[in-house]
């Protein structure tokens, strides 16, 4: 039998610790495939966050940093400035990037750091057990919003892609989803485009990936996909929010 | 012999760092050390090296983490409140064993405090300002020349042991001008940075810069490794100066940094009053030079007087080193006030003539 489907070279053989139905595995694979297809695996340096993907440094088969909570864009800045020929990416969740690390992501973007951020948004803190995130939707029940997120008390969810797209240093920003095969393929295109933007030296690039958390949402993986489509897509519209790669053509 | 130039302390640090081959500087403005960043902002681009003004001290120390992790020689600089913000990152840097140099031009505290010289961050620097069991070498020069000389040594020690190092001055050292000479020193032999995350470039095993160990046995093993390293640093890297200590003295003063310079004047003044004093001056605050006390313990009649610009911090390490064999007394000013030689001499006389401890 010919082998027609293999693990990308960008992933190690380490078994991941992710829950059944979690979409981190898909997003890891997309990043690894893109690094391989662009031929940059050998000069890629990743920065892992704190959160569910804290162990990403064991899964990506390139050199990787494990950063403090929220600080990945600052760490990536140091890496890229010291090694400008490398291809640097951060892989961050919504708690890490949009709460404790808001200053770091905004300033890395506005400086136009030639790095790529893969931002996984599942509207909840996963690793700590399902607390309200800055991206938790109004009315959404979590451990720390047991009556549903009340915007009078807890404020509103942050639309990170739209916010980052207002910054002049941000060159490519797109929001994608991994709720269907079609959207997974689109997500891969976006991630590829974001890395190309970095390699061409145009500026900062970010891809927000809407993802699911069956464990902490209390839903089956299939129900979670439906919930993402019904609730997240209306609040977090998909699409390209910023594209300087076209301007430079 | 090189040429002597008149330089401000903070600018001299910048020039010394450049000459020690510092490749990247990341920092955030804070008084009284901002001229250092301004100097490097001007010089580093001319040399095709990296200068980045970060959005906060928190970001600056994490940029250091990233750049140091690629194997580059890197430095940041701040003052007390900024060092508090950096303490998270310093703990990660110590845990991940990354070499770097952190300049700390200490000002009065707590809180926003004052912008005047102080030594009230001794505990923070030497006992670990961040979380976890770690130490880092802390250098406390007492002149701009010594600060310049110690910069390269501190970078070398950082590389040699894979550790953050701190250069701790105070607002006085940072802001005053003195003639300095940049002497080209032979660097210490340091190991190759084969652990650095540089991109694979054909390497089979991927390098990971990390301080996370989820298995408690792995975490303890890492701690055992770190403690072994700290033991080697304690054995090999402690430095001190003994001034007028090769004689029998009435009293030994213990002081570092700017305070030690003031105390040297006190020693001269005391001789006119027929009082013989010696000075034990720690140059490394961690590792604390306990050996200096073994050498002086039998040559002081009334014990030791520790003088600091703090409420009494280093004095605890002096007591540990002396271990009850001699009395240890303290004199200090706080909040940015600098001790006056007259007042120190008054305290000396109290100890000698009235037996005040």
CA–CA separation, B134 vs B161, rounded Å? 13
Residue A1: pLDDT band with limits 50, 70, 90: confident
Q: What is the least distance, in Å, from the CA of B22 to any CA of chain A? A: 11
- % of chain A with per-residue pLDDT over 70: 99
Question: What number of CA atoms fall less than 13 Å from residue B132's CA on the CB side?
Answer: 24
Q: What is the least distance, in Å, from the CA of A8 to any CA of chain B? A: 15
Q: How many CB atoms lie within 10 A of CB A80?
A: 26
Nearest CA in chain B to A11: B206
Enumerate domains of chain A plus CATH numbers: 24-247 (3.40.50.970)
Q: Which of A61, A67, A103 is opposite residue B56, by nearest beta carbon? A: A103
| DSSP secondary structure string for all residues of B269-312 | HHHHTT--EEEEEESEEES--THHHHHHTTSBSS-EEEEESSSS
Long-range contacts of A138-142 (CB under 8 A, 24+ apart): A140/A231, A142/A216
CB contact (8 A) between residue B62 and residue A71: yes
Structure-block tokens of residue B239:
């430095």
**Cβ–Cβ under 8 Å, residues B227 and B133:** yes
- CATH no. for B4-194+208-236: 3.40.50.970
Nearest residue to B92 via CA among B138, B129, B139, B56: B129
Find the angle CA(A238)-CA(A230)-CA(A174) to the nearest 5 degrees. 10
Mean pLDDT of A179-197: 98
Interchain CB contacts (distance < 8 Å): A and B: 133
CB contact (8 A) between residue A64 and residue B56: no
From chain A, the residues in CB contact with B72 under 8 A are 82-83
Residue A208: pLDDT band with limits 50, 70, 90: very high
- CATH no. for B240-354: 3.40.50.920
Mean pLDDT by 10 residues, chain B (357 residues): 88 97 97 94 98 98 98 97 98 98 96 94 95 98 97 97 97 92 90 97 96 97 98 98 97 98 97 97 98 98 97 98 97 96 97 81
* Parts of chain B belonging to CATH 3.40.50.920: 240-354
Nearest residue to A30 via CA among A109, A120, A115, A96: A120
Strand order in the sheet with A239-243: A239-243, A170-177, A204-210, A116-121, A87-93, A44-48, A63-66, B208-209
CB contact (8 A) between residue B209 and residue A107: no
User: What's the alpha-carbon Rg for chain A, to the nearest Å?
Assistant: 17
From chain A, the residues in CB contact with B211 under 8 A are 66
Identify the pLDDT of residue B356.
Answer: 63
From chain B, the residues in CB contact with A71 under 8 A are 58-59, 62, 65, 89
From chain A, the residues in CB contact with B68 under 8 A are 78
Identify the pLDDT of residue B47.
Answer: 98
| Statement: residue A248 has pLDDT above 70 | no
CB contact (8 A) between residue B54 and residue A74: yes
Q: Return mean pLDDT, chain A.
A: 97
Nearest residue to A194 via CA among A171, A160, A214, A211: A171
| Statement: residue A177 has pLDDT above 70 | yes
Residue A73: pLDDT band with limits 50, 70, 90: very high
Nearest residue to A110 via CA among B357, B90, B52: B52
From chain A, the residues in CB contact with B58 under 8 A are 71, 74, 103-104
Identify the pLDDT of residue B294.
Answer: 98
**Cβ–Cβ under 8 Å, residues B25 and B17:** yes
**pLDDT tens per residue across span A214-231:** 999 999 999 999 999 999
Q: What are phi and psi of B38, to 5 degrees?
A: -65, -40
Residues 6+ apart with CB under 8 A from A30: A184, A187, A188, A191
**Cβ–Cβ under 8 Å, residues A115 and A108:** yes
Q: Which helix (H) or strand (E) holds B161?
A: helix B144-161
In eight-state DSSP terms, residue B350 is I
Q: Which helix (H) or strand (E) holds B156?
A: helix B144-161
The reply to whether B126 touches chain A by the CB within 8 Å rule is no
Q: Which helix (H) or strand (E) holds A153?
A: helix A151-154
CB contact (8 A) between residue B208 and residue A65: yes
* Parts of chain B belonging to CATH 3.40.50.970: 4-194+208-236
Burial B103-118 (b: 16+ CB within 10 A, else e): bbbbbbbeeebbbbbb
The reply to whether B68 touches chain A by the CB within 8 Å rule is yes
CB contact (8 A) between residue A82 and residue B200: no
In Å, how far are A73, A199, B78, B307 from A29, measured between CA atoms? 21, 20, 41, 61
Identify the pLDDT of residue B185.
Answer: 84
Residues 6+ apart with CB under 8 A from B90: B61, B102, B129, B130, B136, B164
Q: State the helix-helix crossing angle for A102-110 and B57-69, rounded to 10 degrees.
A: 70
Q: State the helix-helix crossing angle for B144-161 and B216-236, rounded to 10 degrees.
A: 140
Nearest residue to A168 via CA among A244, A56, A240: A244
From chain A, the residues in CB contact with B87 under 8 A are none
Nearest CA in chain B to A54: B212
Identify the pLDDT of residue A247.
Answer: 72
Cis peptide before A174 (omega within 30 of 0): no
Q: Which of A45, A54, A77 is opposite residue B197, by nearest beta carbon? A: A45
Give the global pTM. Answer: 0.97
Identify the pLDDT of residue B171.
Answer: 86
Identify the pLDDT of residue B1.
Answer: 53
User: Would the CA dihedral through A90, A96, A97, A103 be positive or negative?
Assistant: negative
CB contact (8 A) between residue B63 and residue A81: yes
The reply to whether B211 touches chain A by the CB within 8 Å rule is yes
Structure-block tokens of residue A9:
């070279």
CB contact (8 A) between residue A68 and residue B89: yes
In eight-state DSSP terms, residue A3 is -
- This complex has an ipTM of 0.97
Q: What is the least distance, in Å, from the CA of B37 to any CA of chain A? A: 16
- % of chain A with per-residue pLDDT over 90: 96
Nearest residue to B76 via CA among B12, B164, B160: B164
Mark out chain A residues that contact chain B at CB-CB < 8 A: 12, 41-45, 47, 54-55, 57-58, 60-68, 71, 74-83, 86-87, 103-104, 106-107, 111
Mean pLDDT of A154-167: 98
**Cβ–Cβ under 8 Å, residues B33 and B174:** yes
């Amino acid at each position: 039998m010919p082998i027609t489907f293999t693990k990308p070279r960008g992933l190690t053989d380490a078994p991941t610790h992710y829950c059944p139905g979690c979409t981190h595995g898909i997003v890891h694979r997309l990043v690894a495939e893109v690094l391989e297809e662009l031929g940059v695996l050998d000069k890629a340096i990743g920065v892992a966050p704190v959160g569910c993907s804290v162990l990403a440094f064991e899964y990506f088969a390139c050199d990787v940093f494990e950063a403090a909570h929220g600080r990945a864009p600052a760490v990536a800045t140091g890496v890229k400035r010291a090694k400008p020929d490398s291809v640097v990416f951060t892989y961050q969740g919504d708690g890490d990037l949009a709460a404790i690390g808001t200053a770091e992501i905004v300033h890395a973007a506005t400086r136009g750091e030639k790095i790529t951020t893969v931002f996984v948004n599942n509207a909840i803190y996963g690793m700590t057990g399902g607390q309200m995130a800055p991206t938790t939707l109004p009315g959404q029940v979590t451990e720390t919003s047991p009556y549903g997120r009340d915007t009078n008390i807890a404020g509103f969810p942050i639309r990170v892609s739209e916010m980052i797209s207002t910054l002049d240093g941000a060159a490519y920003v797109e929001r994608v989803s991994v709720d269907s095969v079609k959207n997974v393929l689109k997500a891969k295109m976006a991630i590829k485009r974001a890395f190309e933007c970095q390699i061409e030296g145009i500026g900062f690039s970010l891809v927000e990936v809407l993802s699911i958390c069956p464990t902490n949402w209390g839903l089956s993986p299939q129900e979670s996909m439906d919930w993402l489509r019904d609730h997240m897509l209306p609040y977090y519209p998909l699409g390209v929010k910023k594209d300087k790669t076209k301007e430079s053509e | 012999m090189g040429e002597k130039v008149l330089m401000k302390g903070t600018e001299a640090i910048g020039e010394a760092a450049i000459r020690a081959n510092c490749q990247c500087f990341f920092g955030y403005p804070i008084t009284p050390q901002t001229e250092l960043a301004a100097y490097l902002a001007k010089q580093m681009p001319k040399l095709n090296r990296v200068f980045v003004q970060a959005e906060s001290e928190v970001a600056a120390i994490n940029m250091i983490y990233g750049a140091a992790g690629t194997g580059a020689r890197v430095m940041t600089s701040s003052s007390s409140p900024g060092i508090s913000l950096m303490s998270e990152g310093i703990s990660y840097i110590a845990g991940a064993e990354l070499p770097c140099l952190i300049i700390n031009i200490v000002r009065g505290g707590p809180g926003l405090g004052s912008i005047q010289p102080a030594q009230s961050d001794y505990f923070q620097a030497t006992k670990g300002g961040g979380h976890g069991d770690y130490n880092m070498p802390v250098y406390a020069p007492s002149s701009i020349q010594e600060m310049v000389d110690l910069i390269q040594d501190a970078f070398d020690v950082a590389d040699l042991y894979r550790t953050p190092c701190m250069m701790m001055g105070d607002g006085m050292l940072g802001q005053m001008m003195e003639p300095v000479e940049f002497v080209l020193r032979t660097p210490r032999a340091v190991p190759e940075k084969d652990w650095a995350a540089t991109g694979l470039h054909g390497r089979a095993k991927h390098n990971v810069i990390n301080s996370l160990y989820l298995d408690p046995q792995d975490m303890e093993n890492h701690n055992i490794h770190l403690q072994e390293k700290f033991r080697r640093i304690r054995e090999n890297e402690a430095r001190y100066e003994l001034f007028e200590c090769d004689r029998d003295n009435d009293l030994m003063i213990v002081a570092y940094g700017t305070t030690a310079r003031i105390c040297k004047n006190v020693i001269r003044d005391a001789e006119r009053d027929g009082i013989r004093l010696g000075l034990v001056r720690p140059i490394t605050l961690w590792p604390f030079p306990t050996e200096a006390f073994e050498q002086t313990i039998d040559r002081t009649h009334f014990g030791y007087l520790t003088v600091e610009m703090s409420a009494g911090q280093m004095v605890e390490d002096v007591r540990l080193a002396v271990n009850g064999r001699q009395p240890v007394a303290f004199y200090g000013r706080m909040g940015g006030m600098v001790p006056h030689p007259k007042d120190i001499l008054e305290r000396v006389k109290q100890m000698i003539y009235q037996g005040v401890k």
